[in-house]
Structure 1
Amino acid sequence: MSGPPAIVSSEGYVPGVNEPEQIICQYLHMTNSMGCSWFGCDVSAFSLPLLMLQLSIIFVVSQTFFYLLKPLRQSILSCQLIGCIVFIWFVRLDNHLLNELFPESGKLVLDTFANFGYFLHVFVVGVQIDTNILKSVHRHMVLMGCMSFLVPYAFCLMCLMSLPNFIEVDDVTYHTIPFVAALTSMTTFQAVTSTLSDLNLLNSDLGRLSCSTALVTDLCSYVIALALTTIGVALERQEWKPFENIFWIVCFLISMVYLLRPFVMWMAKRIPEGQQIKESQFLVVLVTVLICGLLSECLGLNASFGGFTMGICVPDGPPFGSALVNRIDWMATNILVPAKFAICAFKVNLKSLGGDNVFAGLITEVFITLAYLAKFTSNFLLAIYFSVPLQDAFHFAMIMCTKGIIDVSTFSIIRSNEVVTDQQYSLLILNMLLVTGSTRFLLWQFYDPSTRYRTYKRNSILECEPGDFLRMVVCIHNEDNVPSMINLLEASNPSGKQRIEVITMNLHQLEGRASAILIPSTEIEKIPSAQSRVLQICKAFKYFMERYNNSVMVEHFVAMAPYRSMHEDIFTIAINKCANIVIIPFHKRWAIDGSIDATFPGIRSVNQNIMEKTPCSIGILVDRGQIGGPKSVLTRRTEVFHITQLFLGGADDREALAYSCRMAQHHHISLLLILLRPNHTDVELTTEVHEKRLDTEMVDRFRMECKGRDIFIQEEVAKDSVETVHLLRAIEKGCDLFIVGREHGYSYSQLTYGLSEWSQCPELGGIGDLLATAEFTFSVLVVQQQPVKTVNFAGEQFTFAK
């Protein structure tokens, strides 16, 4: 077998359209090494092994920098770009190493793979966009979105027009500054949603405002750029052909909207409920994406435009959109897209910032800074004008200055077309990394959406007046939660004197879409994938409401958000509806034999966030079947439903006892109140004396309000947590629902000491966590009252609800 040729490729320069261009000649068979490494051949001389080596290096570098910069809350895309820039700069120090890893003959293949990965990524971005956002965009958001691009762009143009009156600027810089200003003034929807998602702000008020405004800005900047480019080419060449191209582009978009989208929607509707997308459907969509990219190239546009518009035509969310995202996104984002950043990093020339062009670089930097400042100021002032809170307006203006992968790709395309210089391209990239990186870090450090949950009044059952509605927010993750929640509501004894207002929240994990959704159930057609489930849940609660006529009012909301920020939607509804308590299901589900059937870590993270930052009282329902099964209150059987309340003392126990007061007045409920006291205490603190007085008053109130009802009060004494556990095990028989507070007074800590050391679920408290283990078979309701904070100011005390 003959050895490999000594020269695998050659390169040189040939005359080009505008200037000499580089040409590379390579042997046709230098694709796969075919095992010639055993004969002393350099495997990296072949295009396929070289591509795999390059992708592996880029992946390792990207993930390494993501791990290093993660404490600064930098996005994976920013870390990929920073890592590639640093790595390429390091490799360029050794020309031999540079030619070995990234020879000129291998850049074409890497660039092709990079652009294909970017093409798929942009398609996924299009799939995740909810087109219904445009229907809900208010006029002020349209104005803010348009001004976010127009104000900084127009401001930079006016400064540029007056610049020659003060200093002399070279022609190249003068004619390229408008493009630099336009690129800086852009705000892409993908960059904003990526920032908000990484910082868990996607479904906050700030997040919804930013998403809607960014979508308008993105659309506005693209339309204006297309119009100005077309008009400019027409004026320069004095022909109408560019307008003919626009005509065909419009025809392409119309066919996508009125032909392709209905076909994709029809295909999505053919998927049975609960089923996954078929392989044939996935292939049809993938081939259609490729065809749209091809047509986009034929129309003179980038292939990503066709992929993006095709993604818009695909319905977002499960089962269709989420399946496409899950299958394509990981490979495209983590393997192929970093190659796109590597190509962009090759074009960053740090040496161009010095030398003879320092003055031109300073002029460019000034205009980039002016564009960012004008963009920030215009967004901030408009947000203030439209009554956005000062802090939110400041952070909103910061978010609108962030940029992402689409911006980087646009910079790269503009540089490849020689619209901007190497120096201007490098400054655009460096400023983007600085502004976006600092924005993400500052938002993570200083913006806390939970501050709007702090009120001057505690919202709890204890503060609910007798004639008012008891407002309860009921959270539902799946259909299994419905029976237990309805029966808990019935156990709450709705009547003419104790009316209940129920706000149900159907919670869905955000899948296959970029923006969060919080809508009333009347607009459920916006989420086709959840329509069937939501309607069934609404029917169940409607039946419950009809049985109680004027005693119960029910209102339904649907929330789709990431688990890590789902509590934001729950808090929003709780505050807007002045809820007294939020009922959330436990994250574990039990089988018939009493064993744990399933565990949902995402639901647990929601519960933990709710318990940490609560705008009202919270109740976690651990349902083992008694309250939602055959022994439920709803069956109206002649047997009695037995509830046990353990009362040690403290705000949480008092809140739980206030809830038990309502339940005890139900004619099918028997309630046992266990007053557990330590056999001795040495605590004589003033605060504890005050707490004991409140505990005594609450017990006396319970005796008076439940006089004549089927209630029993049992006083017990224990000296430590061991005796407390023995007591709990002794009362297990004959109990259907056990109610307990999450935390207890300091003087009762000896009765629970040590229980938290072996706790698996701290959100339930020491006793609640013990009762949720497999040793007990009854259902459990753990109640936490909204905590308060007292602040001394000018000699006076002010109480704030946390």
Structure 2
Amino acid sequence: MSEKLLWSAEKSFSWFLESHPDFVLLFPALPQSCSSSICLGFFFLRTAMSDLEVDLSNGNETEMSRWAFEMAWYGEAVSATGIICEDHPTKLYSSGVWEKMIYGPIGLPFWQYRLPNIELVIVIVFFLWQFFDILFKKLGLVIPKFTSMMLAGLVLHGTMNRTGSVTLHQILQPKHRINMPESLGSLGFTIFWFVKGVKMDIKRIFRSEAKAVTTGIVSVTAPALIGAFLYLRQENRPLQTAVFSTVLLMQSTTPFSGVARLLRDIGINHSSIGRIGLSSSLVSDMLGLVYIFLSIPLYSDKLMAMLIMTMVIVFIVFAFLFVRPAMFRAIKKKREGRPIDNKYIYWILVMLCFSCLYFKMLGQLPALGPFILGLSIPNGPPIGSVLVERLEGFNLGIILPLFFATSMMKIDLGSVKYLFTDAEELAIASLILLIFFVKFLSSAVVPYLFKMPLKDSIVLSLIMSHKGIIELGFYTFAYDSTAIPSKSFTVLALSIVLNSLFIPMAIQYFYDPTKQFMCYQKRNLVNLRDNGELKTLVCIHRPDHITSMINLLEASYHCEGSPLTCYVLHLVELQGQDVPTLISHKVQKLGVGNGDNRSDNVVLSFEHFHRYICSSISIDTFTCIANPNHMQDDICWLALDKAASLILLPFHRTWSLDRKTIISDNGVIRYLNFNVLKQAPCSVGILIERQVVNKNQKKSHSALKVCVIFIGGRDDREALAFAKRMGRNDNVILTVLRLFPTNKSNEMTGWDQMLDTVELREMMHRNSGGKSDESTTYVEKEVLDGTETSMLLRSMTCDFDLFIVGRSNGMDHEVTSGLEGWSEFEELGILGDFLASPDFPGMTSVLVIQQQRSVAS
């Protein structure tokens, strides 16, 4: 029979070469006999395991012709029974336009080659999910990005099935080869979960509030117990035990990775509710991993279950007792200021691949291995931040969308119409709704019992009820392993889409992050008593901000009878972590717990200032490790918590030592300052230091000369109030310059103008802290327009060391008319921007002050 088979194959191949002479061109370097042997070898391997012998013995050459054609062009061929032969190495890309010109109709379109195919799928999916993401933003809806990626997969699935396009099928679902977009998407999911493991800080569980820990435990345990109790009471169970346990576990658990991604996408991960949600989900995630570990016996016999559990424990021990200490040794060997050696990154990536294969061999979700490995790697700089920087951006933008798209293309939309008639689908949908409501109620009741407001409790329960990336990954793995049937997978996948659409909308409806810093008291300098305690929050980004802020504080303090409390907040960019951290250095010593000593200079400098210069000033230092786009939330939260009256921010520009050249222009700091001005619960000041602000001019034996420019308005009154506190200092000479337009009376009748007049009269008629009147000077100047104002200020540039102005100083006013068009930085106001401009002569520093914007009723 084998001789007859070979004879039939050779005869068929000879016939094929005669009918397709161009086929020989595919093997220009090989003789025809060699090419024939190659194809015959593949053909014999294929037919030895198929039922084609009878057809070939009967002279049926059609199958042989088709197979040889596919081997020649596709590099692989499949039999009627599904046996595949491949040519290795495969041809990844086409020969370009020449292929069609030479081979004509038998040449393949470029999208049927593997590399162009996967590139085309990436582009299609990218543009589709970006379309949905931009559409949601234009509609004002805060929807997570992964929801847009899932909708892109739904659109492709519906389009492919409705149109029945052969070309679309060839692009999205290749004929009989490995689905490369799906494989690459699975890799993206694995990398995503590995990176989330790197970002997690398990020690945070032990630092979490009792409210967060209890919420995390109850939100998992309550729905799991109720669901299991109702299932056991059923006599006719429509769901198999494996399907039920998988759905019950995944619906009851709240993965930390999914919640962190959700909160980051909707922009509330730095809010108070976001912090509690992250802590609660971390507890829930760890408890869920324990449940997964304990549920292994449900899927295999006792002996195999014990073996699998032992192997999992061995991997966990290896990760935390060998890999983690090795990473810390690598960090110790690293030279200060140098990045981590690339060889450690490569070794971690190799271990990532092997951990994935290890859990695949155990029959578990392969991504669990990389996730546990990620947990063992120290988060934050230098290793964790480098891994996140190198893997996260490319993965989230290019590879991970393929996972969502290909997963949604596996669903069967036609089965949805039988949702209320099919017992299995109805049981899955009922189980999902039951667990959702139990989880929602339990997650809302627990924080409410801990005295959390009802609306905030509802928002927290919505966060804990969210389903997304991790759940879809588990369900897709179960579907590919045939543990979940197609119609059940369809209901589960669509439930995740609906959940991820409506949960963020509900959170946005119940929770407005802009209102979380509304203050019920007037916290500004105007309403502060003359000798009342001034509480300031000083923000530090870089070491060069330390001296300028210390000098300003020193100049604004005059005696123990007028106390000054300073809260210093060092702002550090969050790298390689998901949870923002606020460290109090009164509670925590330097370099302990935060993994580095980035705040040591700030803490030691202000301690030195407190100990040796102004011992009566109260200093309290903090370190905020947060995402730069959300640092304003931490600043405003601390100002609200400490009842601060003034927030001092450094300007985003830095000048050279000669104070004439701009050497740094940080847009992130500018964006932060602008956001703080919009939502601060108290007054805000922005310091532009171009000359050293210091009251102790020991070398020159001269006092600090300060000029406050007063035009009118609440911000000007706030600037005047701060200037009065500085004016009480023995080493400060204060000048109040009032500008009013020519040919107009300076006695105004409006409410603001009346307040301005009262403040100025009080300024002039009251002796400032027992000092002689010579230390405070009041000057009035008439100016025609902005041109005269600019000329006047230019002539005064060498007379003062510091200008103090209100942010809204001169807006829509005659004295600044013409200057608005030259304003570059809106956060400084018209005059503040003019004084801080590089074109302004001299090196006078500027302090721009904005009064507290709103008080909640």
Quote how far apart the aligned CAs of 1:415 are.
Answer: 1.4
SS in 2 for 1:739: strand
Contact map agreement 1:756 1:762 (CA 8 A) in 2: no
Is 2:117 the partner of 1:117?
A: no
Give the alignment partner of residue 339 of structure 1, picking from 383, 393, 402: 402
Distance in structure 2 (CA, Å) of the matches to 1:441 and 1:599: 37
Is 2:834 the partner of 1:732?
A: no
Contact map agreement 2:365 2:474 (CA 8 A) in 1: no
The residue number in structure 1 matching 2:504 is 440
The residue number in structure 1 matching 2:95 is 35
Is 2:523 the partner of 1:501?
A: no
Change in CA separation of 1:726 and 1:122 when aligned onto 2, cut-off 3 Å: same
Give the alignment partner of residue 852 of structure 2, picking from 773, 782, 786: 786
Quote how far apart the aligned CAs of 1:693 are.
Answer: 4.4
Quote how far apart the aligned CAs of 1:174 are.
Answer: 7.9
1:70-113 CA-to-partner distances (Å, cap 9, x unmatched) read 33322222111110121122022315234321224344433332
Quote how far apart the aligned CAs of 1:47 are.
Answer: 3.1
Quote how far apart the aligned CAs of 1:578 are.
Answer: 1.4
Give the alignment partner of residue 97 of structure 1, picking from 156, 167, 174: 167
SS in 1 for 2:519: coil
Q: Bigger CA drift: 597-606 or 516-525?
A: 516-525
1:343-368 CA-to-partner distances (Å, cap 9, x unmatched) read 21221111111259733333322221
1:12-52 CA-to-partner distances (Å, cap 9, x unmatched) read 686xxxxxxx6544444543346276233214443333333
Distance in structure 1 (CA, Å) of the matches to 2:696 and 2:598: 24
Quote how far apart the aligned CAs of 1:714 are.
Answer: 1.3
Distance in structure 2 (CA, Å) of the matches to 1:268 and 1:69: 43
For residues 545-560 of structure 1, what are the structure 2 equivalents within 5 Å? 545-548=610-613, 550-560=615-625
Distance in structure 2 (CA, Å) of the matches to 1:278 and 1:632: 47
The residue number in structure 2 matching 1:620 is 686
1:221-243 CA-to-partner distances (Å, cap 9, x unmatched) read 2211321232x246xx3x33312
For residues 423-438 of structure 1, what are the structure 2 equivalents within 5 Å? 423-438=487-502
SS in 1 for 2:623: strand
For residues 332-731 of structure 1, what are the structure 2 equivalents within 5 Å? 332-355=395-418, 358-360=421-423, 361-521=425-585, 522=588, 525=591, 528=594, 531-548=596-613, 550-591=615-656, 592=658, 594-627=660-693, 633=696, 637-679=700-742, 680=744, 686-700=750-764, 703-705=767-769, 707-708=771-772, 710-731=775-796
Contact map agreement 2:118 2:180 (CA 8 A) in 1: yes
Give the alignment partner of residue 129 of structure 1, picking from 189, 200, 209: 200
Q: Bigger CA drift: 759-768 or 111-120?
A: 111-120
Change in CA separation of 1:296 and 1:417 when aligned onto 2, cut-off 3 Å: closer
Distance in structure 1 (CA, Å) of the matches to 2:746 and 2:608: 54
Distance in structure 2 (CA, Å) of the matches to 1:761 and 1:706: 39
1:598-617 CA-to-partner distances (Å, cap 9, x unmatched) read 11111111111111111111
The residue number in structure 2 matching 1:259 is 322
Give the alignment partner of residue 67 of structure 1, picking from 131, 134, 137: 134
For residues 64-213 of structure 1, what are the structure 2 equivalents within 5 Å? 64-71=131-138, 72-93=141-162, 94-101=164-171, 102-162=173-233, 171-172=238-239, 176-213=243-280
Change in CA separation of 1:188 and 1:53 when aligned onto 2, cut-off 3 Å: same
Distance in structure 1 (CA, Å) of the matches to 2:817 and 2:244: 69
SS in 1 for 2:339: coil
For residues 263-282 of structure 1, what are the structure 2 equivalents within 5 Å? 263-282=326-345
Contact map agreement 1:459 1:579 (CA 8 A) in 2: yes
Quote how far apart the aligned CAs of 1:534 are.
Answer: 0.9
How many residues are aligned here? 771
Q: Which amino acid aligns with 1:268?
A: I
Distance in structure 2 (CA, Å) of the matches to 1:26 and 1:350: 33
Change in CA separation of 1:312 and 1:724 when aligned onto 2, cut-off 3 Å: same
Distance in structure 1 (CA, Å) of the matches to 2:419 and 2:615: 82
SS in 2 for 1:478: coil
Contact map agreement 2:160 2:169 (CA 8 A) in 1: no
Contact map agreement 2:144 2:266 (CA 8 A) in 1: no
Contact map agreement 1:622 1:772 (CA 8 A) in 2: yes
Distance in structure 1 (CA, Å) of the matches to 2:309 and 2:698: 67
The residue number in structure 1 matching 2:386 is 323
Quote how far apart the aligned CAs of 1:481 are.
Answer: 0.3
Q: Bigger CA drift: 431-440 or 616-625?
A: 431-440
SS in 2 for 1:551: coil
The residue number in structure 1 matching 2:6 is none
Quote how far apart the aligned CAs of 1:550 are.
Answer: 4.2
Give the TM-score of the pair, scaled to structure 1: 0.90
Distance in structure 1 (CA, Å) of the matches to 2:418 and 2:557: 81
Distance in structure 1 (CA, Å) of the matches to 2:383 and 2:572: 16
Give the TM-score of the pair, scaled to structure 2: 0.85
The residue number in structure 2 matching 1:310 is 373
The structure that has the greater radius of gyration is 2
Which gives a bigger RCO, structure 1 or 2 (Cα 8 Å, sep 6+)?
A: 1
The unaligned stretches of length 5 or more in structure 2 are: 1-22, 27-67
Distance in structure 2 (CA, Å) of the matches to 1:58 and 1:788: 45
Distance in structure 1 (CA, Å) of the matches to 2:212 and 2:263: 18
Distance in structure 2 (CA, Å) of the matches to 1:241 and 1:174: 18
Contact map agreement 1:187 1:401 (CA 8 A) in 2: yes
Q: Which amino acid aligns with 1:91?
A: M
Quote how far apart the aligned CAs of 1:635 are.
Answer: 5.6
SS in 2 for 1:606: helix
Distance in structure 1 (CA, Å) of the matches to 2:291 and 2:765: 69
Q: Which amino acid aligns with 2:337?
A: G
1:639-671 CA-to-partner distances (Å, cap 9, x unmatched) read 222211111222222221221122123233222
The residue number in structure 1 matching 2:834 is 770
Distance in structure 2 (CA, Å) of the matches to 1:574 and 1:702: 31
Quote how far apart the aligned CAs of 1:636 are.
Answer: 6.3
Contact map agreement 1:507 1:559 (CA 8 A) in 2: yes
SS in 2 for 1:249: helix
Q: Which amino acid aligns with 1:503?
A: Y
Distance in structure 2 (CA, Å) of the matches to 1:328 and 1:677: 59
Distance in structure 2 (CA, Å) of the matches to 1:381 and 1:717: 65
Quote how far apart the aligned CAs of 1:579 are.
Answer: 1.0
